[in-house]
């Protein structure tokens, strides 16, 4: 799996750190600027600061976390310096006063204001890689579930995640925090039509299997596939009928003790682990 998104178009501006960090107090109610959103959580913040392709506008800290914020900024691996990041100092209670609809309680009193990452095109991952692992999400709408799937994707060597442009969460703070930094490493591809995307995968020698309780095949049967896509259905309804029909196979996760379903992010982690490529 690619360790970052170096193959995609990069932001034209790079964020500056260290001696270019600017500090100012802030007494107003928090609201991300147009085209920006907030990322919080220590690991998510550190990963965003270290991602050369992530445009960071402001870094927020409290008086007690100010020195840690400066240290994190100094340690961030930035390629070039053409734009300074503001370090904004907030009173601790101000972290809970954002107008951002995705904003939750901020821990460690560290937060960054960022632009969403550039998205890859499906064609960017299909060529030049003999081994391939992809997760495709069929209208999974819960940001925390998607974030958890991104985290598992990084852990188990997934090359990319495919999501639909509609009926899927946009990049937001809840998703980034649940991903615990993995959002900066696992490419996200958005498509208008998932069935068409699955057909494109199949035409490029990618075996596409859907996970569903009705499946008759077992995951272990596909662990030796060199190019494999795992299609995960929505939290409550599972895969849509046409999505299921488009898959090469429908598989199930064997369970015991009367358990009939798993959280989709747990199922995705199990599926990625069971089918991960061994050297």
Which domain, by its residues, includes 195? 123-275
Count of domains for the chain: 2
Residues 178, 87: Cα–Cα separation, whole Å: 24
Task: State if pTM tops 0.75.
Answer: yes
Is 258 found in the same domain as 162?
yes
Is 236 found in the same domain as 194?
yes
Is 78 found in the same domain as 31?
yes
Residues 101, 170: Cα–Cα separation, whole Å: 12
Q: How many CA atoms lie within 13 A of 152 on its CB side?
A: 23
3-state secondary structure (DSSP) of residue 110: strand
Is 234 found in the same domain as 256?
yes
Is 21 found in the same domain as 143?
no
Residue 108 lies in a domain: yes
Residue 3 lies in a domain: no
Residue 7 lies in a domain: no
Residue-by-residue DSSP string for 131-175: SEEEEEESS---HHHHHHHHHHHHHTT--EEEEESSSSPPS-HHH
Residue 9 lies in a domain: no
Is 67 found in the same domain as 101?
yes
Out of 94, 114, 134, a domain closes at 114
Is 104 found in the same domain as 127?
no
218 — phi, psi (to 5°)?
-115, 150
CA 192 to chain centre: 18
Would you give per-residue pLDDT tens digits along the chain (279 residues)? 444 444 443 433 333 444 345 555 555 567 888 999 999 989 999 999 999 889 998 999 989 898 898 888 877 655 333 456 788 888 877 776 654 555 555 567 899 999 999 988 999 999 877 899 999 999 999 999 999 999 999 999 999 999 999 999 999 999 999 999 999 999 999 999 999 999 999 999 999 999 998 888 888 889 899 999 999 998 788 899 999 999 999 998 887 776 667 899 999 999 999 999 876
Residue located via tokens 């340690």: 75
């Amino acid at each position: 799996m690619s360790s970052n998104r170096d193959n995609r178009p990069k932001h034209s501006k790079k964020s500056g750190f260290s001696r270019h960090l600017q500090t100012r107090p802030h007494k107003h109610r928090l609201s991300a600027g147009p085209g920006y959103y907030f990322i919080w959580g220590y690991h998510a913040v550190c990963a965003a600061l270290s991602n050369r392709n992530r445009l960071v506008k402001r870094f927020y800290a409290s008086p007690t976390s100010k020195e840690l914020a400066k240290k994190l900024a100094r340690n961030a691996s930035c390629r070039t310096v053409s734009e300074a990041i503001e370090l904004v100092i907030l009173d601790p209670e101000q972290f809970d006063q954002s107008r951002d609809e995705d904003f939750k309680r901020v821990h460690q009193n560290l937060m960054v204001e960022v632009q969403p990452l550039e998205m890859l095109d499906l064609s960017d991952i299909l060529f030049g890689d003999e081994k391939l692992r992809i997760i495709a999400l069929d209208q999974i709408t819960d940001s925390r579930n998607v974030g958890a799937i991104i985290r598992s994707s990084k852990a188990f060597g997934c090359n990319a995640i495919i999501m639909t442009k509609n009926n899927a969460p946009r990049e937001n703070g809840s998703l980034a925090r649940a991903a615990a930094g993995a959002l900066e490493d696992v490419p996200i591809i958005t498509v208008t039509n998932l069935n068409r995307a699955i057909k494109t995968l199949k035409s490029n020698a990618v075996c596409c299997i859907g996970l569903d309780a009705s499946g008759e095949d077992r995951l272990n049967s596909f662990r030796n596939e060199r190019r494999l896509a795992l299609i995960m259905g929505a939290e409550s309804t599972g895969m849509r009928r046409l999505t299921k029909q488009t898959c090469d196979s429908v598989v199930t996760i064997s369970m015991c003790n009367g358990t009939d379903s798993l959280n989709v992010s747990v199922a995705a982690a199990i599926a990625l682990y069971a089918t991960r490529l061994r050297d």
